[in-house]
Amino acid sequence: MESTEQEIAVFMRKISFITIHPKIIDSYRQFGVFKSAEAAGLAKITATDLRDFAADKHGSIDGAPYGGGDGMVMRADCLAAALASVRTNFLGDSSEKKIKVIFTSPAGKLWAHQEAKAFAESDESLVFICGRFAGVDQRFIDAHVDEEYSIGDVVLAGGELPTMMIAESILRLIPGVLGDEGSAAEDSFGEGLDGRLEYPSYTRPPEWQGHKVPDVLMSGNHQAIGKWRREESLRITKKFRPKLLFS
């Protein structure tokens, strides 16, 4: 029987973004992790244009908020129609159960490495809702969103950037997406660092503007280098993310 890791590696993850700016997603698919994941046959990524499901001939997908206030609110009916289309036409079955609909907002749970790892190890297809304007009708969120996440206490113009960040953090943890199978484990929060932050990195030239590369890294002594890296990882983690040492 194949191992869990092998099963994950051959599974093609389907990821869809519902957005009014599909070109942002399509452009990002041409680079880095998105491109590698698709090229390796480990992911299929698509962007659905919400305006294809507009409420009228003018392409309306938003409306003024009830109760007054600034900005416009994305309509629940338009979003629900787009999601239904994604389920049927991209995911292949409108009754598919292994689907997670994800929405980003300041009210969501803070996204972290643990969440990325859990999604990378699952076989769920993902649909990201990219909000815009003053927000999304709460009725759509209540009815269709499975998980709501925040990337931090900031507000952006739209959900494309945070959802692509979340998707990339998941994809890079899927075996076979990165060129070096062990590189993700040695990054910050990875198993190779026991969940700590990564140690400093150096390259040529050996001296730059009066600053030298630490002698131990030039020594060729791999045991000493490993010890230095562990100590530096611990030092940096204590300074910037001390809570990681107790999690």
- Which pLDDT score is estimated for 4? 45
| Domain-located, residue 177 | no
Q: What is the CA radius of gyration of the chain?
A: 22
| Domain-located, residue 116 | yes
Same domain, 125 and 222: no
Same domain, 81 and 161: yes
| Domain-located, residue 145 | yes
| Domain-located, residue 227 | yes
**By CB neighbour count within 10 A (0-12 exposed, 13-18 middle, 19+ buried), where does 4 fall?**
exposed
Residue after which a domain boundary falls, among 171, 203, 218: 171
Mean pLDDT, consecutive 10-residue stretches, the chain (247 aa), reads 44 94 98 97 97 94 96 98 94 70 97 96 96 97 98 96 98 92 83 94 97 98 97 97 88
- Which pLDDT score is estimated for 1? 39
- Which pLDDT score is estimated for 102? 98
- Which pLDDT score is estimated for 124? 93
Provide CB contacts within 8 A for 45, sequence distance 6+: 15, 16, 17, 25, 29, 34, 37, 38, 167
| Domain-located, residue 181 | no
- Which pLDDT score is estimated for 162? 98
pTM: 0.90
DSSP letters along 41-101, please?
TSEEEEEEEGGGG-SSTT---EEPPTT--SS-EE-HHHHHHHHHHIIIIISS-TT-SSEEE
Same domain, 17 and 92: yes
| Domain-located, residue 122 | yes
Same domain, 42 and 108: yes
Same domain, 137 and 240: no
Residue 200: CATH number of its domain: 1.10.1270.20
Smallest CA-to-CA distance from 89 within 170, 183, 18 is with 18
State which residues form the domain around 202.
191-246
Same domain, 43 and 86: yes
- Which pLDDT score is estimated for 134? 93
Give the chain's domain count. Answer: 2
Same domain, 151 and 35: yes
Same domain, 237 and 129: no
